[in-house]
Structure 1
Amino acid sequence: MLLLAVSLIGSMPFNTKAQGEGEIVFVIPIEKEVEKGLHAFLSRGIADAREAGADTIVFQIDTPGGLVDAAGNIAKLLDSTEIETVAFVDNRALSAGAFIALHADEIYMVPNGTMGAAAVIDQAGNSADEKAQSYWLAAMRSAAETSGRNPQYALAMADKDVDLPEVGAAKGELLTLDARTAESIEYSEGTVSNMDELLKEIGLEDAEVISVEETFAEKLARFITNPVVVPILLSLASLGLVIELYSPGFGVAGSIGLASLLLFFYGHLVAGLAGYETLILFVIGVGLIVAEFFLPGGIAGILGLGAIIGSILMAGGDVVAMGTSLLIAMAVAIIAMVVFVKVFGKKMKLFNKIILKDSTSTEGGYVSNVNRLELIGATGVTKTALRPSGTIVIEDERIDAVSEGGFIGQNKPVRVVKVEGSRTVVREIE
């Protein structure tokens, strides 16, 4: 609830234009890695600028790049705003950062700034497949053409096969522009040392400058939605809940598992990647799994597990990446269960109260009938013929018996030689 309150306070719109006069400039930073949580922050910043009646938005860029799909969504966000946008490369705009900068109306760089090196690589650090490369090259070309820049240089940033030795990108090398080269090929409108010089260069030195800062909730959401953090969170959740299954009561491990799940959904909700329907689906899944303890058939459990997996996949946006994270979490859970059972010899404590463990064993004093061991050695007479079973009489008591071997006729003397539960074995006395 506290985190939600912070996020609501941080997302309250500005109303500066109504209170003051003159031009307004919003400065929105694009820092660290480009990931899905950044989109929510930029969306909020642009909405604030629109509410305040801003004349210009300056995106202060210092990023090594990031996710292609996240960069694509941010580029759409920049294209859809009617406010003048300026990309200020305040150090580096590499990979996805260069793609975002190309979608601004103008680009300015600091003297030691760099922009480019925008090849697509997978999570293992290798070049992406041909399909992904083709999409990315088309996107880079389109971004350059839309902003009125030579698309060849944008392609050289993403494709090693483009040969542009005059700008330091011979065949086999990716193009990375420094400030001087970027200005000479008209990929930047100028080189400035700091924000004050930039505002003077674009004629807004007297404008009111409003810096948009990330709220705690947005910083947390960006951290949680990082593709490296997501599998760690899900693995912690699965590991904590598995350990709790083998522990009496509810303790630290279970609390860590639940907290990890809550953080996962909270981060994706704040980042705008998931809606409340995913959280509702997750709660329904948990309810169905609990119901499985009391309902026969296994259908409720299967539906519950499917609902939980579906909610996590829906929350992530990228089904493939989220599926990989889920597989990692499931592998961690399976390994933990094997270790607890095989190495530590643990048994699940969760089901102690709903599983009947009492047994009617002989060691516990339970017998199906009384063993009349006192009859061994006693003598009697057959009341009926034993073929091989029948009835004998011992001291006026009728007893069901079987012969030790063959037929024993009626009114024959017999001796009890064995008693096994309800089975009394007799032998004819010669």
Structure 2
Amino acid sequence: MATRRRRLMFSFAFFVLAFLLIPIQLLVHSERDTEGPIVYYIPVEQTVERGLEAFLTRSFSTAVEDGATHIVLEMDTPGGAVDAAGNIATLIQETDIPIITFVKSKAISAGAYIALNTSEIVMAPGATMGSAAVIDGAGNAAEEKTQSYWLSEMRSAAELNGRDPQYALAMADNRIDLPELGAPEGELLTLTAQQALQVEYAEAIASNRAELLNHLGLEDAVEKEMEVSFSEQIARFVTHPVVIPILLSIGSLGLVLELYSPGFGVPGIMGISALLLFFFGHMFAGFAGWESMILFVIGFILIMVEIFVPGFGIFGLLGIASVIGGMLLASFSTASMIIYIAIALVITTVVAIFIFKYFGNRGPMRKIIHTDSTSTEKGYISNVTRAELVGQIGETLTPLRPSGSVVFGHERLDVVSEGGYIGQGKRVEVIYTSGSRIVVREAKEN
């Protein structure tokens, strides 16, 4: 009996111990799983601009805090702003974690420059990289000073990771002759995946993430992916160099139309919405602070005072000045913002003139522009024109020097002579009437 009891107690203790060890084993197993390398995938897509820079700054910070051992930039970009690309390159160089570029489709212009700053480049079959000449906003080649700066940057990016700089220079300078790579003098170099592998501008070709990890020796890595949030998508859109002047044009045009319309309506809502979108995007991207938003709010209030309280326009001018000041504070480049504002002013002026000229008396624009006028047909009479007097003969009561009085039958009227002096008691004939003006000349004796 005692032996049986001891067996039951031993069995019970065994099951209790086994039950307690299960979660411990699971925890240990989980910890072992996370002890391996962690790879963070970060998308670099669409145009390179300051919104992308803000997203990459957040992504790199998150990856470092999460203990990532490698960062992979999954790239598919046609290029973009030189200043944003330069800041992204600095961000890459200041990050201690190895950064690999995986060119999924294309790394053109600023994208090629960013890729050259990373420690490794892996390209998908059919991907391309290159064509990195600097162009201005009109699509023309940039000035020589800017070209020289960009060439030095491309050279430095190539040399940073032991790559032959002549190919990087050929991507940005069409004077370099590389016919064997399909880039004779006069054409910019764009490398295919095989060509990049050949000239050691790519370390491998991989069709997918699995092949990429196999090349990096990270088959057992924990994979994590950064995603662009909805707010970041909006920020990237509204900070695009093409979108900024459009938003400013819509905003300024809406406010101009609102100043000519009673109350507050659709033009005002349109203008304020566009400007709010501008400030939201720049604040979220980290370019604007609260001081720019405060200036904008002050400007908005002053403009509202001008709309609802008729005056000499001083509130409207101060409001517009405050809004422009807020824009300049919110910008990542004061010079660029001045250009954007100038473009918006030109567009606003042209569109406003067109609207007022061709649509001023049609549809909803009739509520904005006052087109009514007084006329005799509508019953407005200032002075009656005595057309029936023309041809009548009268006698002067006073000399006409050249004005005086004349009697026509039993009616006395004030008249003016056609030219010279007419004495008293002379016969005169009415030759013209207009309102209260009656013109006479001396009548010829029969």
Output one character per residue of 1:127-153: Cα deviation in whole Å (capped at 9) or x when no partner: 111111111101101111111111111
Structure 1 residue 303 displacement after superposition: 4.8
- The whole-number CA distance in structure 1 between the counterparts of 2:356 and 2:32 is 67
Paired position in structure 1 for 2:215: 201
- Superposed counterparts of 1:86-105, under 5 Å: 86-105=100-119
With over 3 angstroms needed to count, the CA separation of the structure-2 counterparts of 1:340 and 1:174, relative to structure 1, is closer
Q: Answer yes or no: is the 8 Å Cα contact 2:260–2:369 preserved in 1.
A: no
- Would you say 1:311 and 2:319 are equivalent positions? no
Q: Answer yes or no: is the 8 Å Cα contact 1:245–1:349 preserved in 2.
A: no
Paired position in structure 2 for 1:230: 244
- The whole-number CA distance in structure 2 between the counterparts of 1:174 and 1:194 is 28
Paired position in structure 2 for 1:385: none
- Superposed counterparts of 1:409-420, under 5 Å: none
Q: Answer yes or no: is the 8 Å Cα contact 1:288–1:303 preserved in 2.
A: yes
Structure 1 residue 283 displacement after superposition: 2.2
- The whole-number CA distance in structure 1 between the counterparts of 2:233 and 2:163 is 34
- The whole-number CA distance in structure 1 between the counterparts of 2:294 and 2:187 is 49
With over 3 angstroms needed to count, the CA separation of the structure-2 counterparts of 1:58 and 1:340, relative to structure 1, is closer
Output one character per residue of 1:56-75: Cα deviation in whole Å (capped at 9) or x when no partner: 00001111111111111111
Q: Of residues 112, 123, 141 in structure 2, which corresponds to 1:127?
A: 141
Output one character per residue of 1:337-356: Cα deviation in whole Å (capped at 9) or x when no partner: 4345555557998999xxxx
Structure 1 residue 310 displacement after superposition: 2.3
Secondary structure of the 2:104 match is strand
Paired position in structure 1 for 2:54: 40
Secondary structure of the 1:65 match is coil
Larger Rg: 2
Unaligned runs of 5+ in 1: 1-15, 353-362, 365-403, 406-416, 420-430
Q: TM-score normalized by structure 1? A: 0.73
Structure 1 residue 47 displacement after superposition: 0.9
- The whole-number CA distance in structure 2 between the counterparts of 1:65 and 1:50 is 26
Unaligned runs of 5+ in 2: 1-29, 371-378, 381-403, 406-411, 415-446
Amino acid at match of 2:226: V
Aligned CA-pair RMSD: 3.2
- Superposed counterparts of 1:268-283, under 5 Å: 268-283=282-297
Amino acid at match of 2:147: Q
- Would you say 1:22 and 2:36 are equivalent positions? yes
- Would you say 1:155 and 2:172 are equivalent positions? no
- The whole-number CA distance in structure 2 between the counterparts of 1:333 and 1:170 is 45
Output one character per residue of 1:63-95: Cα deviation in whole Å (capped at 9) or x when no partner: 111111111111111111111100111111110
- The whole-number CA distance in structure 1 between the counterparts of 2:53 and 2:288 is 13
- The whole-number CA distance in structure 2 between the counterparts of 1:342 and 1:217 is 40
- Would you say 1:267 and 2:275 are equivalent positions? no
- How many equivalent residue pairs? 347
Output one character per residue of 1:382-404: Cα deviation in whole Å (capped at 9) or x when no partner: xxxxxxxxxxxxxxxxxxxxxx9
Paired position in structure 2 for 1:329: 344
Structure 1 residue 163 displacement after superposition: 2.0
- The whole-number CA distance in structure 2 between the counterparts of 1:345 and 1:168 is 58
- The whole-number CA distance in structure 2 between the counterparts of 1:17 and 1:62 is 35
Q: Answer yes or no: is the 8 Å Cα contact 2:122–2:206 preserved in 1.
A: yes
Secondary structure of the 1:210 match is strand
Secondary structure of the 1:91 match is strand
- The whole-number CA distance in structure 1 between the counterparts of 2:347 and 2:226 is 40
The structure whose RCO (Cα within 8 Å, separation 6+) is larger is: 1
